[in-house]
Structure 1
Amino acid sequence: MTLRRVNVIILVLLAVAFLIIVQRNLLNLSDFLHKEHPDAAAVLPFESELSPDLGLELVRKGEEIPVLITAAEERLGAVVAVMNSVYQNSKANVVFTIVTMNDTVDHLKTWLSRTKLKNIKFKIVVFNTKILNGKVSKDPQTLQAAKPLTFARFYLPAYVPDAEKAIYLDDDIIVQGDIQELYDTSLKPGHAAAFSDDCDSASAKGIVRGAGNQNNYIGFLDFKKESIKKLGMRANTCSFNPGVIIANLTEWRNQNITWQLEHWMELNTREDLYSKTLAESITTPPLLIVFYKHHSTIDPMWHVRHLGVTGAGNRNSPQFIKAAKLLHWNGHYKPWGRASAFSDVWDKWFVPDPTGKFSPVRRHAGDN
């Protein structure tokens, strides 16, 4: 063997030895980094787009809980807050159906996709206002009160066609309990819906007379009208609040509830059965008629309301508000406005608008 060949073999062996040493050093460095930063090895170029709460998605399986909410452009921050509160306080497999108008779709999609809410399951449905033709009075005062989206709850089976049960929530709500518990509310046989009675102890304490809130049927319906008299309803019957609805959609379909609601809407355009009542509501009366003594009830702590009524919200203690499983700011004063009770509770669930179009209005020290 020549000297040149021996030198080549030695160089090759040295090169192999060098590569082995380098490989071992790299493996040791990798082990060190993994011990010091356990997540470093899992970082991939595209994972920066994933939510830090992605792990929660793995356990959100099983029965879907359909939750329907309406989204008006000027109240979009409210929708985001209620969705966030439902999502964060439950590990249930919640699927939101958001009913809105065409001009709000892009804003809503941006808000959800560019914030920590990006992993929430939802579908957006555009409300067809033509469905209300002939069902809402053309009186200017009535038209102003007739915000189209408030009628979306009448059409629940159409928006969640594959579901047997669903929850409807107003947008001025914060959910502090596990939505699974509300969904599991038992409805009596033959009942298509469950509501919160206005005479229950948890909400009646907040009612203020003369503020547009009533706790019986006479506050919503004109009992002097013949069509109302024929129904044989008692005027002092406790009313209910349709801001939270648990619906048995199978019964809803079988009993043609939507058709019944539309019937009373149409009749009201001709006879003013409820358009000019003290409550000033044209959404609640049809529900009161159709579900008269034929609905189940919701646990009072799952619908603590009147927080948006002047003076009423402040009657509740902070301890009571903390214990409540669902808070409802029904009334003129909303938690994203300047003067509202317990707006700090709502603020905890609000997710800032990435477009900057919506911001809560807050009182500053210099305001009068």
Structure 2
Amino acid sequence: MTMRKVNVVILLLLAVAFLIIVQRNLLNLSDILHKENPDAGMILPFETELSPELSLELVRKGEEIPVLITAAEERLGAVVAAMNSVYQNSKANVVFTIVTLNDTVDYLNMWLSKTRLKNVKYKIVIFKPELLNGKISKDPQILEAAKPLTFARFYLPAYIPEAEKAIYLDDDIIVQGDIQELYETNLKPGHAAAFSDDCDSASAKGFIRGAGNQNNYIGFLDFRKEAIKKLGMRANTCSFNPGVIVANLTEWRNQNITRQLEDWMELNTQEDLYSKTLAESITTPPLLIVFYKRHSMIDPMWHVRHLGTTGAGNRYSSQFVKAAKLLHWNGHYKPWGRTSSFSDMWDKWFIPDPTGKFNPVRKQAEE
């Protein structure tokens, strides 16, 4: 046998030996992994497919998107469903600021930590009702309608001091699109906030006849009052719904929007500036005044509302509701109640209460 043939044979033997060693090492490694986690199956180090949990965390790095939502104890199921819909439908690095009252913190923490939302980034901020002293009418009817947490949106920069931009969401919403798209809503120079107008094509379908002129300013403000007259606002100006807000917090601070809102709240306690046909919110009038012709627009499909009113079921098609980026059950009929429209669209994002205290009411459950 020539020297060249001997060298070839040696090289072949070395190659075979190397492959045998590599195979044994890989098998030993897979055995170790299997023993450490027998339910996980065989995972080799060169597999590119990551577990859903790991891939989810990897794609949530980068720019934070601050989302503020309020959490009243009797509506925690709504908060959880809203947060779940935002989180599951987006790959963005969402960070929730949850504004609540002292007696709700433990309940909220438990619900989030013991469900699939345990990996969500959030901080809890306590709302101080004394902030509203002297700013809300002492009329018993008004006090009954004035839920303290509904005013949290007035104080956005205080609750998210590190952010330049943020999203505010009511709790009776479901997000079906990627929240990054809403966050990137373009705000014009000098505008501190963007809203959806009540005259846009999407919400106009849900307008409820006979409930007052709730799609323009005269439905919220009393234009006979001198303080309102002096502003020179047109009564038929299209109003907006503050259940979804994209806020430029830098402009909000610079223009001292919070103080302006508080001034109008205080003046209302003295002069009763709000319209008597006002439907469901005493938080809207101050916002309408402060942001009159000074706000940017949110895409109508990012705020499809009136799902909580009696007429929405007839005015919206199921295809339209499925195509909407954000659904809002503003009105009396909430999706966790028995008579709501499109409650099935809410149900798929609801996470059951581990304590069993919060339970959606469904017709079939009563039969």
- TM-score w.r.t. the length of structure 2 is 0.87
Q: In structure 1, what is the equivalent of residue 278 of structure 2?
A: 278
Could you give the per-residue CA deviations for residues 175-221 of structure 1, whole angstroms, max 9, x where no partner exists?
Answer: 00000000000000000000000000011111112236710000000
- The question of 1:39 aligning with 2:76 is answered no
Cα distance in structure 1, aligned partners of 2:288 and 2:30: 71
Cα distance in structure 2, aligned partners of 1:281 and 1:348: 28
Q: In structure 1, what is the equivalent of residue 91 of structure 2?
A: 91
Q: 5 Å matches for 1:258-297?
A: 258-274=258-274, 276-297=276-297
In 2 relative to 1, CA 358–207 (structure 1 residues): closer, same or farther, beyond 3 Å?
Answer: same
Q: In structure 2, what is the equivalent of residue 194 of structure 1?
A: 194
Q: In structure 2, what is the equivalent of residue 112 of structure 1?
A: 112
Unaligned residue ranges in structure 2 (runs of 5+): 1-23, 44-50
Q: In structure 2, what is the equivalent of residue 30 of structure 1?
A: 31
Q: In structure 2, what is the equivalent of residue 177 of structure 1?
A: 177
Determine if contact 2:195/2:295 at 8 Å carries over to the other structure. yes
Percent identity of paired positions between Structure 1 and Structure 2 = 81
Determine if contact 1:211/1:310 at 8 Å carries over to the other structure. no
Determine if contact 1:303/1:326 at 8 Å carries over to the other structure. yes
Q: In structure 1, what is the equivalent of residue 143 of structure 2?
A: 143
Cα distance in structure 2, aligned partners of 1:28 and 1:182: 46
In 2 relative to 1, CA 280–93 (structure 1 residues): closer, same or farther, beyond 3 Å?
Answer: closer
Q: 5 Å matches for 1:226-265?
A: 226-265=226-265
Cα distance in structure 2, aligned partners of 1:274 and 1:339: 30
- The Cα of 1:37 is off from its aligned counterpart by 6.8
Determine if contact 2:308/2:340 at 8 Å carries over to the other structure. yes
Aligned length: 335
In 2 relative to 1, CA 28–64 (structure 1 residues): closer, same or farther, beyond 3 Å?
Answer: closer
Cα distance in structure 2, aligned partners of 1:168 and 1:332: 21
More deviation, 95-104/313-322:
313-322
In 2 relative to 1, CA 139–38 (structure 1 residues): closer, same or farther, beyond 3 Å?
Answer: closer
* Secondary structure of the corresponding residue to residue 90 of structure 1: coil
Q: In structure 2, what is the equivalent of residue 354 of structure 1?
A: 354
* Secondary structure of the corresponding residue to residue 118 of structure 1: helix
Kindly name which structure, 1 or 2, has the bigger radius of gyration based on alpha carbons.
Answer: 1
Q: 5 Å matches for 1:37-76?
A: 39-40=40-41, 53-76=53-76
- TM-score w.r.t. the length of structure 1 is 0.86
* Secondary structure of the corresponding residue to residue 117 of structure 1: helix
Q: 5 Å matches for 1:303-342?
A: 303-342=303-342
Q: In structure 2, what is the equivalent of residue 47 of structure 1?
A: none
In 2 relative to 1, CA 55–138 (structure 1 residues): closer, same or farther, beyond 3 Å?
Answer: same
- The Cα of 1:279 is off from its aligned counterpart by 2.4
In 2 relative to 1, CA 275–123 (structure 1 residues): closer, same or farther, beyond 3 Å?
Answer: farther
Determine if contact 1:99/1:126 at 8 Å carries over to the other structure. yes
Corresponding letter in the other structure for 1:299? D
Q: In structure 2, what is the equivalent of residue 16 of structure 1?
A: none
In 2 relative to 1, CA 210–58 (structure 1 residues): closer, same or farther, beyond 3 Å?
Answer: same
Cα distance in structure 2, aligned partners of 1:111 and 1:325: 26
- The Cα of 1:38 is off from its aligned counterpart by 8.5
- The Cα of 1:280 is off from its aligned counterpart by 4.4
Determine if contact 1:81/1:349 at 8 Å carries over to the other structure. yes
Corresponding letter in the other structure for 1:124? I
Corresponding letter in the other structure for 1:353? D
Determine if contact 2:196/2:297 at 8 Å carries over to the other structure. yes
- The Cα of 1:116 is off from its aligned counterpart by 0.5
Cα distance in structure 1, aligned partners of 2:273 and 2:77: 34
- The Cα of 1:57 is off from its aligned counterpart by 1.0
In 2 relative to 1, CA 365–32 (structure 1 residues): closer, same or farther, beyond 3 Å?
Answer: closer
* Secondary structure of the corresponding residue to residue 349 of structure 1: coil
Corresponding letter in the other structure for 2:31? S
Could you give the per-residue CA deviations for residues 206-241 of structure 1, whole angstroms, max 9, x where no partner exists?
Answer: 111223671000000001111001101000000000
Determine if contact 1:165/1:250 at 8 Å carries over to the other structure. yes
- The Cα of 1:103 is off from its aligned counterpart by 1.0
- The Cα of 1:31 is off from its aligned counterpart by 7.9
Determine if contact 1:197/1:238 at 8 Å carries over to the other structure. yes
Determine if contact 1:100/1:127 at 8 Å carries over to the other structure. yes
Cα distance in structure 2, aligned partners of 1:356 and 1:160: 32
Determine if contact 1:268/1:275 at 8 Å carries over to the other structure. no
- The question of 1:210 aligning with 2:210 is answered yes
- The Cα of 1:311 is off from its aligned counterpart by 1.9
Q: In structure 1, what is the equivalent of residue 298 of structure 2?
A: 298
In 2 relative to 1, CA 366–141 (structure 1 residues): closer, same or farther, beyond 3 Å?
Answer: closer
Corresponding letter in the other structure for 2:234? R
Q: Which runs of 4+ in 1 moved over 6 A?
A: none
More deviation, 65-74/266-275:
266-275
In 2 relative to 1, CA 31–301 (structure 1 residues): closer, same or farther, beyond 3 Å?
Answer: same
Corresponding letter in the other structure for 1:39? A
Cα distance in structure 2, aligned partners of 1:106 and 1:366: 31
- The Cα of 1:267 is off from its aligned counterpart by 0.2
- The Cα of 1:366 is off from its aligned counterpart by 5.8
- The Cα of 1:365 is off from its aligned counterpart by 7.2
Determine if contact 1:65/1:93 at 8 Å carries over to the other structure. yes
